[in-house]
Amino acid sequence: MFKEFTIENLEKSKERLEVELKKSRAAIKSLLKIQNKTYESFVKPYQEIAENLNEFVTPLFHIDSVKNTKTTQKVQEEIIPLLSNYETELSQNEYIYTSLKTIHYNYNSSLNDIQKKVLENEIRDFKLGGCGLDNEKKKRLKKINLKLSQLSNTFSQNLLDATNAFEMVVEDFEDVKEIPQSDLALASFEEEGKTYYKFTLQMPSYLAYITYGSNRKLREHIYKAYTTRAKNNQKIIDQILTLKLERSNILGFENYAQYSLATKMAKSENEVITFLYELANKAKIKAKEEVAEVQKLALKDGIRSIKSFDMAYYSEKLKKEKYDIDQEYYRPYFEQNSVLDGFFNFLHKLFNIDFKLTQAAAWDEKVKVYDIYENNNVIARIYLDLEARKDKRGGAWMNNWHSHYINTNGEKQLPTAFIVCNFPPSNENTPSLLRHDDVVTLFHEMGHALHHLLSKVQEPFVSGIAGVAWDCVEFPSQFLEYFSYDKEVLKLFAKHYQTQEVLSDEAIQKIINAKNFQSSLALIRQVEFALFDFKLYQRLYKGKEVQALMDSIRDEISALKPPKYNKFQHSFSHIFAGGYSAGYYSYKWAEVLSADTFYLFLNSTVFNQELALRYKTTILERGGSADMNELYLEFAHKEPSVDSLLKIDDIIS
């Protein structure tokens, strides 16, 4: 039913991939020999060839992210050129391109809407891949694509290496006295009979000191290390920007931003810029008031000019003062296993699905694998790798492996996905105790996963998250986040891991009250990143110009400017090593849809299963089979409003 996750002969991945690519090329060559090409005889098996290759390749990239070693790094270096050449060769194949256009023209009246969507997407993507260009331009695109793949991988590896290279050892207990006991236990170690405390740039450890570290100099020390990581990525950034502009120009676009929008919901550069400034202008004044509030508190400690490395520390104190909320108090109530059990119960109530733990093989002993059931039938599998490790890349993400579809033999392929997070690790003495922010992250990534795993689409290229426009792919994840602040939902899993006492209504209400704490600052921060990303790809920036652009945006909209040494762009993986180039605005763009959707539940009840099942069948099950604006209108019977987002974040009333 499901393929087991195994990495056999990792050292020989290059040779094994060469065999798989040879098979794929031969299969495509056979398809092209078909005289009377139809959707059934050509397009369906063509999609299946791609799915079979993806099934082989995905684990090779995944293992490098979650079990990074010299071997996995070597494998990446070897397989990236092979895949880049294959993908470019495929995307520039005029015979496939012509075949798809002919099928679309000849059989348009007999194709259903989903089949038409597959063809329209593919024809568009082949054109964006270089079909129709002369051979010299195609050759140049092939070289550019290969180099960009290598540069993205190098960017990620540089960042991981820099993250792992830093350690801050603290000797004096006075400097760690405010740090929560669970974090302190993970940081402490004994040497020659003395206790020391080690902090790293791994997210749980970094957050522990920047939020609770009593020593201001040490806070700045670890902040500076974090915001100046991977300075060797500046040269990588310059090369990426140059090559992406050249590729865009070859394909007939003025800049990479235009190229990026060709596959997105937003229709023009001006639409994106206008949208972002509308958000910034509505949030900027309140964001400055939020900074002033923190500054007032810091003044009690004699700090007349608050800095970026002070914000988390004094914001936490202010949050506790305003809402009487102590994050450490909550963590015993968010033990990882308890959270998962209650979370799955919630998803059952909402979407009528069940999660059952399996003993399927995975890449680490702490990975949990669940089969998902609907009406007692297994429909999907999900792998959860939730705890931080030194060999795992930072952050949190969902990665799809298999897609839901019906193959050429009429058999149903079931979908699979991975969720990867970096939550506080468990050890022999302490379970993994989450912050509420971690709970929110889990809800977010599960939203992505369900968008992929609950698909009922029979064509793989538009099943699940495949074919979904990038600027609305965050919609289901952000929508599910909102439920992590609901009292009835939290009561399903917020239980003390030692006493099983359910978190009190009063304590839950404090979380809800604090939800929009510094929401304007958070929005401004996201808009700052989004404007930097989008403007960066509207023309060519090089060297110091990149930092100058970041500085100009901060001068224009930021409520608190970071120190000049802050080189955030060197670790901005989303746009230099991920899929968000000229697309980081997607987080806020999609959040308008998610806020608008959640308002429908606020106006009824959080466990409105009728509404949830309508969302499930209209949005989740249909994946990329139709444009999201069409699906949203069908679901909500109205256009989304930017004000919904601003209201739900308490930025406007």
Q: Which of 269, 290, 445, 474 is catalytic?
A: 445
Q: Report the pLDDT averaged over residues 309-324.
A: 95
CA 92/CA 126 separation, integer angstroms: 7
Return the closest-CA partner of residue 247 out of 234, 235, 237, 258.
258
Is residue 11 classed exposed, middle or buried when 0-12, 13-18 and 19+ CB atoms within 10 A define those classes?
exposed
In a domain, 544, yes or no: no
Q: Report the pLDDT averaged over residues 86-109.
A: 96
Q: Where are the beta strands (DSSP E) in 43-82?
A: none
Show which of 211, 227, 243 is a domain's final residue.
227
Q: Report the pLDDT averaged over residues 505-529.
A: 96
pLDDT band at residue 602 under the 50/70/90 scheme: confident
pLDDT of 605: 85
CATH code assigned at 471:
1.10.1370.40
Show which of 227, 261, 279 is a domain's final residue.
227
In a domain, 523, yes or no: no
Q: Does residue 354 sit in the same domain as residue 474?
A: yes
Q: What percentage of the chain exceeds 90 in pLDDT?
A: 93
In a domain, 345, yes or no: yes
Q: Does residue 396 sit in the same domain as residue 449?
A: yes
In a domain, 223, yes or no: yes
pLDDT band at residue 200 under the 50/70/90 scheme: very high
Q: Does residue 500 sit in the same domain as residue 615?
A: yes
405 pLDDT above the threshold of 90 = yes
pLDDT band at residue 1 under the 50/70/90 scheme: confident
Q: Per residue in 423-455, pLDDT tens?
A: 999 988 889 999 999 999 999 999 999 999 999
Please check whether residue 453 is in contact with residue 417, taking contact to mean a CB–CB distance below 8 angstroms: yes
pLDDT band at residue 590 under the 50/70/90 scheme: very high
pLDDT of 295: 98
Q: Does residue 375 sit in the same domain as residue 438?
A: yes
Q: Does residue 336 sit in the same domain as residue 408?
A: yes
Q: What is the DSSP letter of 366?
A: T
In a domain, 300, yes or no: no
Q: Does residue 117 sit in the same domain as residue 202?
A: no
pLDDT of 23: 98
In a domain, 184, yes or no: yes
Q: Report the pLDDT averaged over residues 583-590.
A: 95
Q: Per residue in 538-556, pLDDT tens?
A: 999 999 999 999 999 999 9
327 pLDDT above the threshold of 90 = no
Q: Report the pLDDT averaged over residues 497-504.
A: 96
CA 354/CA 373 separation, integer angstroms: 5
Q: Report the pLDDT averaged over residues 308-322.
A: 96
In a domain, 598, yes or no: yes
Sequence-distant (≥ 6) Cβ neighbours of residue 223 within 8 angstroms:
210, 308, 309
Q: Does residue 365 sit in the same domain as residue 497?
A: yes
Helix 216-227 / helix 203-212 crossing angle, nearest 10 deg: 140
Sequence-distant (≥ 6) Cβ neighbours of residue 302 within 8 angstroms:
none
Number of structural domains, the chain? Answer: 3
CA 506/CA 487 separation, integer angstroms: 10
488 sits in the region (left: phi over 0; alpha: psi -120 to 50; else beta) called alpha
Q: Does residue 77 sit in the same domain as residue 27?
A: yes
CA 465/CA 450 separation, integer angstroms: 9
Please check whether residue 370 is in contact with residue 358, taking contact to mean a CB–CB distance below 8 angstroms: yes
pLDDT of 111: 97
pLDDT band at residue 182 under the 50/70/90 scheme: confident
Q: Does residue 351 sit in the same domain as residue 475?
A: yes
289 belongs to the catalytic site: no
Q: Does residue 173 sit in the same domain as residue 128?
A: no
Q: Which residues pair with 495 in a beta bridge?
A: 334, 502
From 59-63, 133-137, 637-641, the region with the lowest mean pLDDT: 637-641
Q: Per residue in 208-253, pLDDT tens?
A: 999 999 999 999 999 999 999 999 999 999 999 999 999 999 999 9
Altogether, the residues listed in the chain come to a count of 653
Q: Report the pLDDT averaged over residues 253-265.
A: 96
Show which of 227, 249, 268 is a domain's final residue.
227
Q: Does residue 478 sit in the same domain as residue 391?
A: yes
For the whole prediction, is pTM greater than 0.85?
yes
653 pLDDT above the threshold of 90 = no
In a domain, 411, yes or no: yes
CA 507 to chain centre: 30
Average pLDDT of the chain? 96
Six-digit token string for 42: 């050509």
Structural domain of residue 451, as residue ranges?
A: 332-518+587-648
Please check whether residue 381 is in contact with residue 370, taking contact to mean a CB–CB distance below 8 angstroms: yes
pLDDT band at residue 277 under the 50/70/90 scheme: very high
Q: Per residue in 609-645, pLDDT tens?
A: 999 999 999 999 999 999 999 999 999 999 988 888 9
Sequence-distant (≥ 6) Cβ neighbours of residue 22 within 8 angstroms:
none
Q: Does residue 483 sit in the same domain as residue 622?
A: yes
